[in-house]
């Protein structure tokens, strides 16, 4: 039985913001963060679902400003590192500076799996600010392991402390996770992390697969909150890790309390694998397209599943949300033509 110590990052207050349409209040975040901190979680990621400066017409407006969230959480967290996410092209170096000034101690710099080169300046700024810095390679299912290795090495060369295989679409199965994590472990000298989405129902299994290949960092969210069908459910993931013999430094009973008594009452909808979330994983589409696709389907009177299948065929990725409207419109025209014929 292994005794490896695994670092746990909880994303309830960032990825989980998708579940509540980014409407957690600063007080909500402070209460949940305090519970996570008391449970011994290592890193607590917070903010808009699309990271710093994500609040917008395109991605959806959050209930409060980034600064309000960071300030509220940093005021109550005593042990964990408070982390923010930054997507180059959305967040800026100034946003990172403000977060650090307010008490954030970690930054996750996220790019599409083939675009690590755009992370260079942000990773270097993050390191200059003294932040623990994670390179986050999203949509990892879209490229083979050798391509991930090439991109991970870039992030390592820029100064990242950890590099992540990020299954943003929840499209990977355990063998695909093992192949990618093992390739990175052999190629880089920094630790490797794994971030799962549950669109195919295998988030916890995929996390265990990543750990079996030497990943040292894994992510979850309470009640599984997150884009699409959500993330690996933190309290379930930790229970599985403890049964497998991994050390996490977390108190499972306190995590269960945080999920049941603190988070669950604040959820606006259950986190389930519905038909739309399932097709996200099956078609390999970015999980944060979940609500966008549902809204576009209602607006144009088309099947949201058809939208997602077409997005998958076109290999649409994060940052191309405007294409969801285009696809829905084109599908509506086809359906109208079909009805006339």
| Other CB atoms within 10 A of residue 130 CB | 9
Is residue 168 marked as binding? yes
Is residue 195 marked as binding? yes
Is residue 227 a contact partner of residue 12, using CB atoms and an 8 Å limit? no
Is residue 332 marked as binding? no
With a CB cutoff of 8 Å and minimum separation 6, the contacts of 77 are 33, 34, 37, 44
User: CA 69, CA 47: separation in Å to the nearest integer?
Assistant: 6
Is residue 286 marked as binding? yes
Q: Alpha carbon of 11 to those of 52, 83, 148, 225, 243: distances in Å?
A: 14, 9, 23, 8, 22
Q: Which of 18, 22, 112, 292 is catalytic?
A: 18
Is residue 141 marked as binding? no
The answer to whether residue 18 is catalytic is yes
With a CB cutoff of 8 Å and minimum separation 6, the contacts of 333 are none
User: What is the CB-side half-sphere exposure of residue 27 using CA atoms within 13 A?
Assistant: 1
Is residue 112 marked as binding? no
User: Which residues carry out catalysis?
Assistant: 18
Per the annotation, binding residues for Mn(2+) are: 15, 195, 197
Per the annotation, binding residues are: 14-15, 168, 195, 197, 286
Per the annotation, binding residues for substrate are: 14-15, 168, 195, 286
């Amino acid at each position: 039985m292994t005794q490896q110590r695994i670092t746990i990052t909880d994303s309830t207050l960032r990825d989980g913001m998708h579940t509540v349409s980014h409407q957690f209040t600063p007080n909500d975040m402070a209460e949940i963060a305090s519970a996570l901190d008391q449970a011994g979680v290592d890193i607590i990621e917070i903010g808009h679902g699309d990271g710093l400066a994500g609040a917008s017409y395109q991605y959806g407006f959050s209930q409060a400003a980034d600064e309000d969230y960071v300030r509220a959480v940093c005021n109550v967290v005593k042990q964990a590192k408070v982390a923010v996410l930054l997507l180059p092209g959305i967040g800026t170096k100034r946003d990172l500076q403000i977060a650090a000034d307010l008490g954030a101690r970690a930054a996750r710099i996220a790019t599409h799996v083939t675009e690590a080169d755009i992370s260079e300046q942000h990773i270097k700024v993050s390191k200059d600010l003294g932040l623990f810095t994670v390179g986050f390679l999203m949509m990892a299912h879209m490229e083979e392991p050798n391509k991930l290795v090439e991109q991970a090495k870039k992030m390592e060369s820029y100064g990242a402390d950890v590099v992540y295989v990020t299954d943003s679409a929840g499209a990977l199965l355990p063998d695909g996770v093992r192949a990618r994590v093992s390739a990175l472990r052999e190629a880089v000298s920094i630790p490797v992390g794994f971030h799962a989405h549950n669109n195919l129902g295998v988030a916890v299994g995929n996390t265990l697969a990543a750990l079996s290949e030497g990943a040292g960092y894994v992510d979850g969210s309470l009640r599984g909150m997150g884009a699409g069908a959500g993330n690996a459910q933190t309290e379930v993931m930790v229970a599985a890790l403890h049964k497998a013999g991994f050390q996490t430094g977390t108190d499972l009973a306190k995590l269960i309390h945080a999920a049941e008594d603190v988070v669950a009452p604040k959820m606006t909808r259950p986190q389930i694998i519905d038909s739309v979330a399932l097709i996200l994983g099956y078609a390999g589409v970015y999980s944060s397209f979940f609500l966008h696709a549902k809204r576009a389907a209602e607006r144009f009177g088309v099947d949201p599943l058809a939208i997602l299948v077409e997005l998958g065929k076109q290999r649409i990725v994060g940052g191309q949300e405007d294409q969801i409207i285009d696809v829905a419109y084109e599908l509506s025209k086809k359906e109208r033509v079909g009805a006339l014929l």
